[in-house]
Amino acid sequence: MKDYDIAIIGAGHNGLIAACYLAKAGFSVGVFERNKEVGGAAVTREGPSGFTYFEGPHVLTGFSPSVMRELDLSQYGLDIIPLPGRTTLNAEGQFLTTNRDERQSFSAIKYFSLQDAEMYRVFLRDLTRQKRIAALSQPRIGSDQRFGKRYLREDVGKWLGQVEQFGKDALSESVRLWTSSCADYLQSYFQEDIVQAHIASPVFMGVDKGPFCPATAFLLLRCGFDQSLHGAQGFVRGGMNRLSHALESAAKDAGVDIHLRSEVIEVQVEKNKVRGLTLIDSTSVKAKVVVSSLDLKRSVMMLFDWKDTERGVLEQARNYKLEGTLAKLNIALDGLPKFPNLPQDSTVLGGLMNFVSNLFEIEAAYDAWRDQIVPSRPFLEITIPSVMDPSLAPTGKHLMSVYVQYIPTKLLSGPWDTAARERLATIVIDQIAAHSPDFTKRIEDWSLSVPRDFEDKFSLTNGDVFHGQLSLSQILSGSALLGSNGTLPGIDGFHLCSPVTTEDRGMTGLPGARIARRIARGFEDE
């Protein structure tokens, strides 16, 4: 095997993006992927006769426009269809649709409450402000030895000065956002149940907490409620594989070698410096720098032999929490189902839909998850991507993709066997059918993945789609373990590029891009 400047573990989108940037910066780069195809969790596969099934995410949330541009991804066939809107349908059959057009969202909310509609503007403005404050580089406590009076005066003082520019109440509002429950936070703006549930809906997909749990309001920062908050949000035309293939081609054109079926079992370290990789077939690969797109826990616990080095690191990684909450259902339909309470237009049916009435329903599903049972009403996010992109299903037919949230990785009652899976699918199908009389009879086929399947297929520990849960303590302790360049203490030349290195956890491509830029800069500095 040839030597590389940089070896990348995992050919998920982040690994590939990092590879592209580094190869373009002139390094020799090899990517080592366990699976037989690239893409990681962001993949689609052939379903039955002409249907395309989404194995992982069905939309891109916040994919970075600069990555798109700098890697010329549209050249490579990546086409993002903007998300037309998001709709919440409650038990009474009322619905609320919002989209990027603030004026349209305003009038949709106004239908329920003028005050809520007005507060929506305030909410967006406040959240934008908080997003900017969160983006300021924050004083870090204890991450290195710089600490003491001077540090506090200068670093903290400087930070406070910056925060102050956002207004007198900027600091207290920040503290409120980072410590409140999502429910309390939303209730301080909105009165209508459907409005609260609508805004909370995108927040909790994949999260191991419910809206009434303390310190969940900050999760709102992740979500793009308007353009200013986020990058591209939408469907990848032709399915997620198009993204992976675009990145694969871009990488190959930049000179990257992609090695499939090449599981990495160890990062070789000598005198605290990375030397290369060992593959499962014992092949040794030399590299000056190793970038891992595995989650923090996996990276620390599976890739290194910590005997000689710090035990504390291992312990911290062991305690790092990854929780599976999300199951995925693909449903092949022989035609577009009717939803009598929803307008039959593409803004609604071609967008994302949640069938939920209030925050309590979401919380109740969370409570069941925590007790390791399947909720009687799981929390759903439904989309029919074939409305916007007919290529995903045979002519006249449709594909429905459903996130099923609050599904435990382990069931109290026993294994995730066929019976358990069928029961879950039935619950979900019935839940949808309650709003659509012809739904059930249109089903040609369905396919369900539960969190543990994601661990098997994509190496997502416990099936955690975020590579690590987003809790306040975890954000702090994770960043305490990781250096600012995704490094681990005591190891030179190793970088993490998994979503835990950014707080968005979305499909942004930023973890890969940022780490690559920093590594390139690091080499220049030497």
Partner 1 sequence: MSDQSQEDDFFEQRDDIGSPAVVRKWQYDAIVVGGGHNGLVCANYLAKMGLEVVVVEARGVLGGMAVNTTQDHGSLESSDFAHLISGIPGFIVRDLKLNKFGLRFSGHGTRTVSIDEEGRKLTLSPTLEESRESIERLSRSDADKYSDFTDHWTKVAAALKRFVSMAPPPLELGSHTSLESLHGWLEQAARVSPDILKRAQSGLMAPVADIVEDLFETDLLRGTLAFDAVLGMNVGPRQAGTMLSYLQRLIQRDLAMQSNVGYPVGGMTAAINALAKSAQARNVEIMTDARVTDIRISDGRVHGVDLEGGMNLDAKIIVSSLDPKQTILSLAGVRHFDLEFIQKLRAIRSNGAIAKIDLQLSELPNITGLNPDEFRGRIVISPDIDYIERASAAIKYGEYALAPIAEIVFPSLFSEEAGETHHMSAIIQYVPYDIAGGWVTKRDQFEHHILNALKFYAPDLLNKVLDARIMTPADIEDEFGIWGGNWHHTEFSLDQFGPMRSMPELAQNKTPIEGLYLCGAGTHPGGGLTGLAGHNAARVISDAVKRRS
The listed partner (partner 1, ligand FAD, none) that binds 498, CB under 5 to 8 Å by sort, is ligand FAD
Q: Does residue 236 touch ligand FAD according to CB under 6 A?
A: no
Q: Which of 4, 7, 8, 12 binds ligand FAD (CB under 6 A)?
A: 12
Strand order in the sheet with 232-236: 60-63, 232-236, 80-82
- Residue 156 DSSP one-character state: I
Spatial CB neighbours of 213, under 8 Å, sequence gap ≥ 6: 181, 182, 366
- Nearest residue (CB) to ligand FAD, 34 versus 442: 34
In 10 A of CB 307, how many CB atoms? 7
Identity of the residue numbered 410: K
Q: Does residue 212 touch partner 1 according to CB under 8 A?
A: yes
Q: Does residue 321 touch partner 1 according to CB under 8 A?
A: yes
The listed partner (ligand FAD, partner 1, none) that binds 371, CB under 5 to 8 Å by sort, is partner 1
Identity of the residue numbered 267: V
Q: Does residue 159 touch partner 1 according to CB under 8 A?
A: no
Q: Which stretch binds partner 1 (CB under 8 A): 56-64, 168-176, 417-425, 457-465?
A: 168-176
Identity of the residue numbered 394: P
Q: Does residue 311 touch partner 1 according to CB under 8 A?
A: no
CB of 320 to partner 1, least distance (A): 10
Q: Enter the tokens of residue 360.
A: 């309590």
Q: Does residue 115 touch partner 1 according to CB under 8 A?
A: no
The count of chain residues that interact with ligand FAD, using the rule CB under 6 A, is 33
β-pair partners for 359: none
Q: Which of residues 20-79 bind ligand FAD (CB under 6 A)?
A: 32-35, 40-42, 56-57, 61
Q: Does residue 36 touch partner 1 according to CB under 8 A?
A: no
Please state, in angstroms and rounded to a whole number, the distance separating the CA atoms of residues 300 and 281: 21
Q: Does residue 506 touch ligand FAD according to CB under 6 A?
A: yes
Q: Which of 172, 391, 413, 484 binds partner 1 (CB under 8 A)?
A: 172
CB of 141 to partner 1, least distance (A): 6
Distance of CA 206 to the CA centre of its chain: 8
Helices (H), 319-444: 346-349, 359-370, 418-433, 439-442
CB of 2 to ligand FAD, least distance (A): 18
Q: Does residue 181 touch partner 1 according to CB under 8 A?
A: yes
Please state, in angstroms and rounded to a whole number, the distance separating the CA atoms of residues 409 and 464: 9
In 10 A of CB 150, how many CB atoms? 10
Q: Which of residues 449-468 bind ligand FAD (CB under 6 A)?
A: 454, 458-460, 465
Dmax (CA) of the chain? 70
CB of 314 to ligand FAD, least distance (A): 17
CB of 354 to ligand FAD, least distance (A): 13
Nearest to 267 by CA among 237, 230, 307, 300: 300
Q: Are strands 60-63 and 80-82 parallel, antiparallel or unpaired?
A: unpaired
DSSP 277-289: EEETT--EEEEEE
The listed partner (ligand FAD, partner 1, none) that binds 9, CB under 5 to 8 Å by sort, is ligand FAD
DSSP 94-130: -EEEE-S-HHHHHHHHHTT-HHHHHHHHHHHHHHHHH
Beta strands in 296-378 (DSSP E): 326-333, 352-355
The contact mask relative to ligand FAD for 285-314 (x = CB under 6 A, - = no) is --------xx--------------------
Which residues of the chain form contacts with partner 1 (CB under 8 A)? 141-142, 145, 147-149, 151-153, 156-157, 160, 163-164, 167-172, 175-176, 179-181, 184, 187-188, 212-215, 318-319, 321, 360, 363-364, 367, 370-371, 471-473, 476-477, 480
Contact residues toward ligand FAD (CB under 6 A) are 9-15, 32-35, 40-42, 56-57, 61, 205, 263-264, 293-294, 326, 328, 454, 458-460, 465, 498-499, 506-507
